Amino acid sequence: MTNNEYINAYKKTQQSSNAETSSHEIVRTLMKELVNSMQKIVLDIQDDRSKKVDKFLVDKAREEKITQNKSKNLSKSLSIIYGLQTSLDFDKALEIANNLFQLYEYCRQEIIKGFSQKIEDGIIKAIDIIKQIMEGWEEIPSSEK
């Protein structure tokens, strides 16, 4: 091996060890992103309700872009929830993992229902649940992370 190969191997090892120690940071970041995308869905629903514009006057290209952004927020939220659900460790803490899975599932259902029916109340409740989970996550002692 050349010096550069050794350096690159070391960098890869260092990156993977950093990834290992920051798994809690990744979950925290995912939760923040989830709240952010859910809040965007709520704003989209509120914007739709406040804009009583004649659909024939709206530019088709602009309407398509708005629809794509709404779909992106929905897709991002659902993907993050799926990621959080699949990362739960049922072997280490079955009861906690089951409870979190159910809470995530409730949030997922509220997002879908709210998005399809254009009602933000359930999504707002789901945001509050995720925020409470985040607060609990923050209270975990560093030694247990």
Q: CATH number for the domain including 71? A: 1.20.120.340
Q: Answer whether residue 35 shows pLDDT above 90.
A: yes
pLDDT of residue 139: 80
Mean predicted confidence (pLDDT) in 92-114: 95
Distance of CA 130 to the CA centre of its chain: 9
% the chain with pLDDT above 90: 50
Which residues span the domain enclosing 112? 3-144
Question: Residues in the chain, how many?
Answer: 145
User: From CA 108, how far away is CA 126, in angstroms rounded?
Assistant: 8
Q: What is the pTM of this model?
A: 0.75
pLDDT of residue 133: 93
Assign 47 a pLDDT band (cuts: 50, 70, 90): confident
Summarize pLDDT for 83-98 with one digit per residue, the tens: 999 989 899 989 999 9
Q: How many domains does the chain have?
A: 1
- Distances 114 to 14, 92, 126, 129 between C-alpha atoms, Å: 43, 34, 10, 15
Under DSSP, is residue 145 helix (H, G, I), strand (E, B) or coil? coil
